């Protein structure tokens, strides 16, 4: 047994060489688990993502830390549940736990984001797209470990023509480059916008520059075309059988293909871990504007599977075996620990980190038992552990609330969808489990 452990340790040590690997994290906005062909979408309009999965690892049991944009993103970058990092609200089960333009707060200064720590290992860092962790300058990415930024502190969903609250700004580093709908047009009638193409080109330029400089790089690519109001460039408009939402997905898939192809052409694919995922489930309440959550119940803003299970793929040629599937219960918070593990940087020891490194899973396919917590605001809504999931409070997309316990047994059917089968569980027993849950 000790020989096996030593062999694994030596292999992991070899993975993290003298020069730490590059990292590209692609985080989509409101994209559902069922939007990708590899996850069962019948339209099969994501050839580049499907190819990425064929060459890498599919993680079908991967979860966000919250079913809304801002707290999910804060959890990923801090490795901590929103209840710990302070990025949550308490009104009516936190139904509005995000940071619109008129909110003055943002990610607390006391929180440590992993890009800040990557600077210790000499990483060049850039965020492209949606930040959503604070509108005011003191909360911007350049204050939290990023050398460069092209994008917005918020999303593009308005205000559109409000003279008292101007349209949301777009930044290039510390300076405002313009505003949505004026300097960076989005046609509200047709959905036409060139923003995704700009985000793709920004990624290409940053990768070229970083490879030329010989430094390891971290790229956080977070376009928002699949968030209502949807948009796509003229080339992709009306090309999908799924309407404007499908057009946006097709263009994002194209962008993924451009980035992966570039990494290969520059000879750094084997030195680069690329992660693809989404911040929360598809917005099924948006009808024609929302994505597909596959077989799962509900979507964005809910703690049912459709709201928090994310379409996740890991790609790292030569390190992550192609065509593999891991049923590890994963969390967006795990990328914090994974990034630090790859860079050989110790985690902060003055706070609880809720994520865990996925490097053993990515390299060896190791599966570790761990719980997944489903929070909204400061309330624990559900817990999943192994084959079981308990809902202590439920809220559906119809905004019906049920203050009773639901207890589910999880059945896995590979590539044919998942099902949750409700089984009997006395409310006192489930409430006792809830009380004894230690987070």
Residue numbers annotated as active site = 69, 132
Tokens of 363: 């390299």
Q: Cβ neighbours of residue 206 under 8 Å, at least 6 residues apart?
A: 124, 126, 128, 148, 217, 219
- Tell me: cis bond preceding 159? Omega within 30 of 0 counts: yes
- Secondary structure (3-state) at 296: coil
Give the separation between CA 7 and CA 10, rounded to whole angstroms.
5
- b/e for 24-43, b at 16 or more Cβ within 10 A? bbbbbbbbbbbbbbbbbbee
Do residues 160 and 131 touch, judged by C-beta distance below 8 A? no
Do residues 276 and 335 touch, judged by C-beta distance below 8 A? no
Give the separation between CA 274 and CA 58, rounded to whole angstroms.
12
422: β partners:
408
Do residues 80 and 347 touch, judged by C-beta distance below 8 A? no
Q: Name the residue among 247, 35, 217, 242 with its Cα closest to residue 128.
A: 217
| DSSP category for residue 137 | G
388: β partners:
385, 409
Quote the distance between the C-alpha of residue 113 and its chain's center: 15
Beta strand 22-28 with 217-222 is parallel
Give the separation between CA 343 and CA 336, rounded to whole angstroms.
11
263, exposed or middle or buried, with CB in 10 Å at 0-12, 13-18, 19+? buried
Quote the distance between the C-alpha of residue 172 and its chain's center: 22
Beta strand 388-391 with 379-385 is antiparallel
**Helix H or strand E segment including 84:** helix 82-85
Nearest 5°: phi and psi at 332?
-55, -30
| DSSP category for residue 289 | G
Give the separation between CA 410 and CA 370, rounded to whole angstroms.
15
Tokens of 232: 């796509």
Q: Name the residue among 132, 86, 137, 133 with its Cα closest to residue 110.
A: 86
């Amino acid at each position: 047994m000790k020989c096996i452990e030593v062999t694994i340790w030596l292999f992991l040590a070899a993975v993290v060489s003298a020069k730490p690997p590059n990292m590209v994290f692609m985080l989509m906005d409101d994209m559902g688990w069922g939007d990708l062909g590899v996850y069962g979408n019948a339209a099969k309009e994501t050839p580049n993502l499907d190819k990425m999965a064929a060459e890498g690892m599919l993680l079908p049991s991967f979860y966000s830390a919250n079913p809304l944009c801002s707290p999910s993103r804060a959890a990923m970058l801090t490795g901590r549940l929103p209840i710990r990092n302070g990025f949550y609200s308490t009104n009516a089960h936190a139904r509005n736990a995000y940071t619109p333009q008129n909110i003055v707060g943002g990610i607390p200064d006391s929180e440590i984001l992993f890009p800040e720590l990557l600077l210790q290992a000499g990483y060049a860092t850039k965020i492209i797209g949606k930040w959503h962790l604070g509108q005011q300058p003191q909360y911007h990415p350049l204050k939290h470990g990023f050398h460069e930024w092209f994008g917005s502190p918020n999303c593009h969903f308005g205000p559109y023509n409000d003279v008292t609250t101007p349209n949301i700004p777009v930044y290039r580093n510390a300076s405002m480059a313009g505003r949505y709908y004026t300097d960076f047009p989005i046609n509200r009638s047709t959905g036409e916008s060139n923003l995704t193409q700009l985000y793709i080109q920004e990624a290409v330029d940053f990768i070229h520059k970083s490879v030329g400089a010989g430094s390891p790089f971290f790229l956080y690519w977070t376009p928002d075309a699949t968030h209502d109001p949807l948009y796509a460039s003229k080339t992709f408009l009306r090309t999908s059988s799924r309407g404007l939402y499908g057009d946006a997905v097709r263009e994002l898939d194209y962008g993924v293909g451009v980035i992966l192809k570039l990494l290969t052409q520059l000879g750094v694919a084997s030195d680069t871990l690329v992660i693809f995922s989404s911040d929360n489930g598809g917005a099924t309440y948006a009808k024609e504007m929302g994505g597909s959550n596959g077989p799962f119940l509900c979507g964005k803003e809910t703690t049912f599977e459709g709201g928090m299970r994310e379409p996740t793929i890991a790609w790292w040629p030569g390190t992550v075996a192609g065509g593999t599937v891991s049923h590890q219960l994963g969390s967006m918070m795990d990328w914090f620990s994974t990034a630090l593990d790859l860079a050989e940087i110790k985690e902060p020891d003055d706070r609880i980190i809720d994520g865990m490194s996925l490097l053993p899973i990515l390299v060896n396919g190791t599966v570790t038992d761990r719980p997944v917590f489903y929070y909204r605001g400061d309330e624990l809504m559900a817990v999943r552990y192994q084959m079981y999931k308990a809902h202590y409070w439920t809220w559906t997309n119809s905004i019906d609330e049920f203050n009773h316990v639901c207890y589910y047994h999880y059945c896995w059917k590979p590539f044919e969808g998942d099902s949750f089968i409700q089984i009997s569980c006395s409310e006192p027993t489930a409430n006792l489990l809830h009380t004894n849950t230690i987070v």
